[in-house]
Structure 1
Amino acid sequence: MAICVFCASSQKIERKYLDLAADVGTELARRGHTLVSGGAVVSCMGAVTRAAREAGGRTVGVMPQALVDLEIADTDSDELIITGDMRERKGIMDARSDAFLVLPGGIGTLEELFEIWTSRTLGLHDKPLVILDPWGLYAPLRLLVDNMYEAGFTRPNVFDAISWTTTVEEAIDHLEKPARPLTPLADELGEAAAG
């Protein structure tokens, strides 16, 4: 499988997050998966790709030219794809991936998560989506989505479209399984119209 990992590029994070990213890269390679990432050499992005390669895995990086110009591109990637902008970058990462793993990260990671999560709940793809959150960084997000659901702002599929995990092994186990089937949007719209 080609597994896309969304994670931090921030330089000012605790060592445990870098170690987690490295553990993910090592385990993905050990299980024979290709890593698709944002293509940076810094922070968690750099840690996950270096560890994957050191363990014999294949890495694909996707990065906009503007970030390449900042000299943070992982030029050691087996394949480095240069894009015109961030939207093209995400489109290529999505198309090249069979599943998505979200590690702790910042607003860029959240933006990537929300786009994949939304498209999954709408039935636009059926690829597994997993959050790996050993220290509860995303706990407030989970509570927020629960509250949104209770207030009627999200569909029931929002919970079935994603898996929440706390260990590397558990996360990758979930990625290797077929994604849970979701109620088709047309069926939900039909029920709403009939009700």
Structure 2
Amino acid sequence: MSNSFNRLAVYCGSATPADPRYMQLARDVGQTLAKRGIGVVYGGGKAGLMGAVASGALDAGGEVIGVIPQALKDMEVANLDCTELYVVANMHERKQMFTDMSDGFVTLPGGVGTMDELWEAVSWAQLGYHQSPVGLLNSFGYYDGLLAFNREMAETGFIREMHRDILIVGDTLEGLLEKMAEYQPIQTIVQMRAEDL
């Protein structure tokens, strides 16, 4: 049985790399999601890959919901073109809204903030705070090193066997969405007995 997505949280960088492939990728992702009728929930900014995802989706007639902390809105980096823009107090509230408003997560290339969002989504799935698929778009091999580290954590025993497949990886959006649609929720930590941890 496959999942259908009404909205996906899209995590990506607010920077604009020198390599133009990254901005084009972000724009293409937004456009593709919109054409599939999938709404975008994202960080609400207008800069970098974040802005490119939003503009790609909006230009294709898609729904774009931004969630931005007040401090970043005060810096005038908010994307006022969003279908809806929510201003929250802090990053914790922002990530909770991403989880509450989405059917899954797609992570594009990004930096520290993107990693924070990705690993929280994985951690919350592992714990049982959500049952949504967590996707990683490994375009241009950007996340090869991260995936090697993820394997190292699993092989060392810091990721349990039943949790190894929480992180769903694809090098194209189409392939990644297909894998995410087939995701089956795992046995979560809160469902386990203390002696099995």
TM-score (norm 1): 0.92
Residue 190 of structure 1: how far off its partner (Å): 6.3
1:185 is the counterpart of 2:189 = yes
Kindly provide the CA deviation profile for residues 57-110 of structure 1, in whole angstroms up to 9, marking residues without a partner as x.
010000011111111100010100001111111111111111100001001000
**CA 1:72–1:186 in structure 2 vs 1: closer, same or farther (change >3 Å)?**
closer
Structure 2 residue aligned with 1:87? 92
Structure 2 residue aligned with 1:114? 119
Task: Give me the whole-angstrom Cα distance separating, in 1, the residues matched to 2:43 and 2:162.
Answer: 28
1:77 to 78, 82, 86: 82
Residue 192 of structure 1: how far off its partner (Å): 2.9
Read off the aligned partner of 2:163 and give its amino acid letter: V
State the SS of the aligned residue for 1:135.
helix
TM-score (norm 2): 0.91
Read off the aligned partner of 1:46 and give its amino acid letter: G
Structure 2 residue aligned with 1:51? 56
Counterparts of residues 158-169 of structure 1 (less than 5 Å): 158-169=163-174
- On the 8 A contact 2:69/2:91 being kept in 1, the answer is yes
Point out where structure 2 has 5 or more consecutive residues left out of the alignment: 1-5
**CA 1:119–1:13 in structure 2 vs 1: closer, same or farther (change >3 Å)?**
farther
- Please give the root-mean-square deviation of Cα atoms over the aligned residues, in Å: 1.7
Counterparts of residues 1-195 of structure 1 (less than 5 Å): 1-175=6-180, 177-185=181-189, 188-189=192-193, 192=196
**CA 1:186–1:96 in structure 2 vs 1: closer, same or farther (change >3 Å)?**
closer
Residue 14 of structure 1: how far off its partner (Å): 1.9
Structure 1 residue aligned with 2:3? none
**CA 1:96–1:13 in structure 2 vs 1: closer, same or farther (change >3 Å)?**
farther
Task: Give me the whole-angstrom Cα distance separating, in 1, the residues matched to 2:157 and 2:106.
Answer: 27
Task: Give me the whole-angstrom Cα distance separating, in 2, the residues matched to 1:144 and 1:22.
Answer: 28
State the SS of the aligned residue for 1:11.
coil
Task: Give me the whole-angstrom Cα distance separating, in 2, the residues matched to 1:72 and 1:34.
Answer: 21
Read off the aligned partner of 1:192 and give its amino acid letter: D
Percent identity over paired residues: 36
- On the 8 A contact 1:23/1:168 being kept in 2, the answer is no
How many residue pairs are counted as aligned between the two chains?
192
- On the 8 A contact 2:13/2:48 being kept in 1, the answer is yes
Task: Give me the whole-angstrom Cα distance separating, in 1, the residues matched to 2:122 and 2:70.
Answer: 26
Residue 150 of structure 1: how far off its partner (Å): 1.8
Kindly provide the CA deviation profile for residues 151-170 of structure 1, in whole angstroms up to 9, marking residues without a partner as x.
22121233221211001211
Task: Give me the whole-angstrom Cα distance separating, in 2, the residues matched to 1:73 and 1:184.
Answer: 36
Kindly provide the CA deviation profile for residues 104-140 of structure 1, in whole angstroms up to 9, marking residues without a partner as x.
1001000000000011122221101110012122111
Read off the aligned partner of 1:51 and give its amino acid letter: G
Task: Give me the whole-angstrom Cα distance separating, in 2, the residues matched to 1:52 and 1:112.
Answer: 21
Q: Which of 90-99 and 146-155 deviates more? A: 146-155
